[in-house]
């Protein structure tokens, strides 16, 4: 791999590299092959970190997590056809979650694709990507590369962030251009993510409603965490004295043990609150789309950058359309002219009920059970997290997700990455890698055994890049649990059954990680503490009881039921 350019000529691949550097991209996640291998070499040679994966979907999950944590687009590089499609899954997921990312994919030359003549990895990628992403562009000529990169960047980060697809054809990557002419196409764009300032009327309307509320609650979503204005949000919450609830990935924006946190009182305040202020949180299925338990007479304030998010499920009495920083700034400035009129017993009653509920909840953490249940394993994990608050927690599974989320308080913003809006599985290794690379912090991924299966091979990527990531696998031998009833006429395993005796630690060993197989909470605590302290790739196989966990965890109600119970 020699220098891609001569004194007088450069290739599209070098121009693409330089264009990415002009917008500040310093990291790419991906998996190479025809036609992007040389491009990855060139980018790496020019100082862009390239994290090579075993599966494009995981590289995409890493890019998406990178985007969420840095407020700049994470970049995924894929090959044509299947690599593109594998990666597109993650780009679609990023779009749904409002994470900024750009999937750059090589694609075949246009002419045989457009005439459907059957060419190497021929697929009309741009048109396939379009309905699943925020924006999609194709670059056919090297002189258009800078424009394509800038447009992709702006689409990914500005307004509501999302996934962007950037198609770069093989001829464009290989095209040769005069060096001076190529340099003349490059520029450094200005104000890549412009502020969106809310109208003063919308701010006044919202402040009036909030100040007049008797039983208000503030609901913080991952949009609020993404905004990186933690101190301002904290100031607003504390100045108003309004209790707050944090959605899963907003946990830790304010410490979960803050005196105004009502994280365990969700049903109660849904029924009771008269004014709910949503900050970067959607009133989607995760919040019963604004119905169900919600007080039918309650009123909503919603701060969101996307005007089309307003009124999607329920009337929003006071929409504030703007970016969260500009919106909170405006509200903080307005605050002195308003007087809160909360019922004097609203906060104290929530606090005492919350305290009682948390104490009752803590009774679940019985450390002595062997074989372990999710709760006994978590009794160990939560202690280790309490003494390592700066570790980023990646979490997926069914019961492993629900129980870990409830068991582990987050103390710092953007330290929890999970399967988010779609509640999907298969984000674990990629997100852990993206989190480690983007934050430079230690990461612990707590995975159900089923969840780990979707991305397990990319544990090897953690090892090759020697990242400070510990993967903890809660093995209960199945999807939901390992005791699925066997209805097969041939004695096949039940659809939900995996392998309760699988030794995932041996898989970790294959790639040179430090591994542990633990059967008791005490050994789990030791293994996890050691692993975090080592700042090296580690894998802990946690042996659970096969009957620990229930179908679909907390969302079993979404499962269509059989007429006759199969279990």
Q: Smallest distance, Å, CB 151 to Mg ion?
A: 43
CA–CA separation, 153 and 175 (whole Å): 23
Member of 21, 22, 160, 179 binding ligand ADP (CB under 6 A): 160
Question: In degrees, to the nearest 5, what angle opens at C-alpha 533 toward C-alphas 530 and 535?
Answer: 115
Minimum CB distance to Mg ion smaller for 103 or for 543: 543
| Between 123 and 193, CB nearer to ligand ADP | 193
Q: Please report how close the Cβ of residue 283 comes to ligand ADP at its closest, in angstroms.
A: 8
| Binding residues for ligand ADP restricted to 210-239, rule: CB under 6 A | 221-223, 226-227
449 binds, among ligand ADP, Mg ion, none (CB under 5 to 8 A by kind): Mg ion
- Rounded CA separation 537/528 (Å): 12
Using a 10 angstrom Cβ sphere, with 0-12 exposed, 13-18 middle and 19 or more buried, the burial of residue 115 is exposed
List residues near Mg ion by CB under 5 A. Answer: 448-450, 476
Residue placing its CB nearer to ligand ADP in the complex, 309 or 449: 309
- Which option in Mg ion, ligand ADP, none does residue 147 bind, with CB closer than 5 to 8 A by kind? none
Q: Which does 274 bind (CB under 5 to 8 A by kind): ligand ADP, Mg ion, none?
A: none
- Beta-carbon count within 10 A of 358 CB: 15
Q: Which residue is nearest to ligand ADP (CB)?
A: 223
Q: Determine contact, residues 461/433, Cβ cutoff 8 Å.
A: yes
Question: For ligand ADP, what does the binding mask look like between residues 162 and 201, x meaning CB under 6 A?
Answer: ----------------------------------------
238 exposure class (CB count in 10 Å sphere: 0-12, 13-18, 19+): middle
Q: Would you call 432 helix, strand, or coil by DSSP?
A: helix
Please give the Cα distance from 231 to 226 (Å, whole number). 13
What is the rounded distance in angstroms from the CA atom of residue 559 to the CA atom of residue 552?
8
Task: Name residue, tokens 């009774």.
Answer: 363
Give the integer Cα–Cα distance in Å for 533 and 514: 12
CB of 483 to ligand ADP, least distance (A): 32
Sheet holding 514-518: strands in order across?
416-418, 392-396, 443-448, 469-475, 538-543, 514-518
Structure tokens at 330: 């405006």
Answer with the entry of ligand ADP, Mg ion, none that 306 interacts with (C-beta below 5 to 8 A by kind).
Answer: ligand ADP
Q: Does residue 98 interact with ligand ADP by CB under 6 A?
A: yes
Q: How far is the CB of 252 from ligand ADP (least distance, A)?
A: 12
Q: What is the dihedral of CA 227, 261, 435, 129, to 10 degrees?
A: -60
Q: Cβ closer to Mg ion: 93 or 450? A: 450
Select from Mg ion, ligand ADP, none the partner in contact with residue 100, using the beta carbon and a kind-dependent cut-off of 5 to 8 Å: none
Rounded to the nearest whole angstrom, what is the least distance from the CB of residue 366 to Mg ion in the complex? 20
Structure tokens given for 393: 């927690």
Considering only the C-alpha atoms of the chain, give the largest distance between any 2 of them, rounded to a whole number of Å. Answer: 76
Site string for ligand ADP, 401-430 (x = CB under 6 A): --------------------x---------
**CB of residue 24 to ligand ADP, shortest distance in Å:** 18
**Residue 219 CB, nearest approach to ligand ADP (Å):** 8
Q: Which of 37, 26, 32, 103 is nearest to 64 (CA)?
A: 103
Taking CB under 6 A as the rule, does residue 51 contact ligand ADP? no
For ligand ADP, which residue of 55, 110, 154, 282 counts as binding (CB under 6 A)?
A: 282
* Binding window for ligand ADP (CB under 6 A); candidates: 9-17, 274-282, 459-467, 495-503: 274-282
Q: Which is nearer to ligand ADP, 374 or 414 (CB)?
A: 414
Report, in Å, the least distance between residue 448 CB and Mg ion. Answer: 4
What is the rounded CA–CA span in Å between residue 400 and residue 548?
Answer: 10
* Smallest distance from ligand ADP to CB 442, Å: 24
Alpha helices in 71-143 (DSSP H): 82-97, 110-114, 125-129
Among 12, 35, 122, 280, binds ligand ADP (CB under 6 A): 280
Q: Which is nearer to Mg ion, 144 or 449 (CB)?
A: 449
From 5, 119, 284, 439, residue interacting with ligand ADP (rule: CB under 6 A): 284
Q: How far is CA 92 from CA 102, 281, 385, 565, in A?
A: 11, 19, 32, 35
Per 3-state DSSP, the chain is made up of helix, strand and coil in percentages (nearest 5) of 45, 15, 40
What phi and psi, each to the nearest 5 degrees, are found at residue 66?
-55, -45
470 binds, among Mg ion, ligand ADP, none (CB under 5 to 8 A by kind): none
Choose the stretch contacting ligand ADP; rule: CB under 6 A; options: 9-17, 76-84, 246-254, 472-480: 246-254
Residue whose CB is less far from Mg ion, 103 or 476: 476
Could you tell me if 222 and 420 are in contact, meaning their C-beta atoms sit under 8 angstroms apart?
A: yes
Describe the strand order of the beta sheet including 135-139 as a list of residue ranges: 49-52, 27-30, 74-78, 101-107, 163-169, 135-139
Nearest-approach distance from CB 155 to ligand ADP, in angstroms: 14
Q: How many CB atoms lie within 10 A of CB 185?
A: 16
Is residue 108 within 8 Å of 170, Cβ to Cβ? Answer: yes
Q: Indicate which of Mg ion, ligand ADP, none lies near residue 476 (CB less than 5 to 8 Å, by partner kind).
A: Mg ion
Query: For the CA atoms of 462, 467, 468, 474, what is the dihedral angle to 10 degrees?
Result: -10
Q: Which of residues 296-335 bind ligand ADP (CB under 6 A)?
A: 304-306, 309, 323-324
CB of 124 to ligand ADP, least distance (A): 30
- Buried b / exposed e along 66-77 (16+ C-beta atoms within 10 A): bbbbbebbbbbb
Q: Which one, 280 or 453, has the nearer CB to ligand ADP?
A: 280
Of 160 and 514, nearer to ligand ADP (C-beta) is 160
Binding site for ligand ADP (CB under 6 A): 97-98, 160-161, 221-223, 226-227, 247, 249-250, 280-282, 284, 286, 304-306, 309, 323-324, 421
């Amino acid at each position: 791999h020699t220098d891609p350019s001569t004194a007088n000529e450069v290739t599209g691949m070098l121009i693409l590299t330089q264009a990415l550097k002009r917008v500040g991209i310093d990291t790419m996640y991906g998996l190479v092959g025809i036609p992007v291998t040389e491009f990855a070499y060139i980018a790496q040679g020019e100082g862009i970190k390239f994290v090579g994966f075993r599966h494009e979907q995981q590289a995409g999950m890493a890019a998406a997590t990178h985007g969420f944590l840095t407020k700049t687009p994470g970049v995924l590089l894929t090959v044509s056809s299947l690599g593109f499609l594998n990666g597109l899954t993650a780009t679609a997921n990023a779009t749904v979650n409002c994470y900024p990312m750009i999937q750059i994919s090589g694609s075949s030359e246009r002419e045989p694709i457009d005439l459907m003549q059957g060419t190497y990895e021929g697929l009309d990628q741009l048109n396939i990507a379009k309905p699943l992403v925020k924006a999609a562009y194709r670059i056919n000529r090297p002189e258009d590369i800078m424009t394509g990169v800038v447009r992709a960047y702006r689409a990914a980060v500005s307004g509501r962030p999302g996934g962007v697809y950037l198609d770069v054809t093989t001829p464009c990557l290989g095209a040769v251009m005069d060096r001076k002419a190529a340099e003349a196409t490059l520029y450094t764009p200005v104000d890549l993510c412009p502020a969106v300032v809310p109208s003063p009327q919308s701010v006044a309307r919202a402040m009036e409603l909030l100040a007049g509320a008797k039983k208000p609650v503030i609901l913080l979503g991952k949009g609020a965490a993404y905004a990186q204005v933690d101190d301002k949000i904290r100031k607003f919450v504390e100045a108003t004295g309004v209790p707050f609830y944090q959605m899963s990935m907003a946990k830790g924006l304010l410490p979960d043990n803050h005196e105004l946190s009502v994280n365990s009182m969700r049903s109660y305040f849904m029924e009771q609150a008269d004014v709910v202020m949503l900050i970067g949180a959607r009133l989607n299925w995760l919040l019963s789309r604004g119905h169900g338990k919600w007080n039918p007479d309650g009123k909503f304030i919603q701060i969101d950058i996307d005007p089309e998010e307003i009124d999607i499920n329920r009337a929003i009495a006071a929409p504030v359309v703007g970016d969260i920083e500009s919106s909170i700034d405006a509200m903080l400035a307005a605050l002195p002219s308003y007087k809160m009129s909360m019922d004097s017993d609203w906060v104290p009653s929530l606090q005492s009920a919350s305290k009682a509920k948390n104490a009752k909840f803590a009774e679940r953490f019985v450390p002595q059970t062997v074989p372990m249940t999710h709760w006994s394993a978590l009794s160990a994990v939560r202690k280790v997290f309490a003494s390592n608050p700066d570790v980023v927690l990646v979490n997926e599974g069914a019961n492993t997700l629900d129980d870990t989320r409830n068991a582990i308080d987050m103390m710092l913003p953007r330290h929890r990455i999970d399967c988010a809006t779609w509640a999907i599985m298969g984000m674990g290794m990629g997100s852990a890698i993206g989190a480690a690379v983007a934050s430079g912090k230690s990461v612990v991924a707590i995975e159900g055994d089923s969840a780990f299966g979707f991305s397990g091979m990319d544990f090897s990527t953690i090892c090759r890049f020697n990242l400070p990531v510990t993967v903890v696998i809660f093995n209960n031998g199945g999807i939901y649990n390992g005791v699925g009833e066997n209805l097969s006429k041939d004695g096949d395993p039940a659809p939900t059954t995996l392998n309760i005796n699988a030794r995932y630690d041996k898989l970790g060993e294959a790639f040179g990680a430090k591994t542990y197989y633990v059967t008791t909470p005490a050994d789990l605590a030791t293994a996890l503490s050691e692993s975090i302290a080592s700042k090296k790739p580690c894998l802990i196989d946690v042996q659970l009881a096969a009957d620990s966990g229930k179908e679909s965890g907390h969302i079993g109600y979404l499962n269509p039921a059989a007429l006759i119970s199969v279990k």
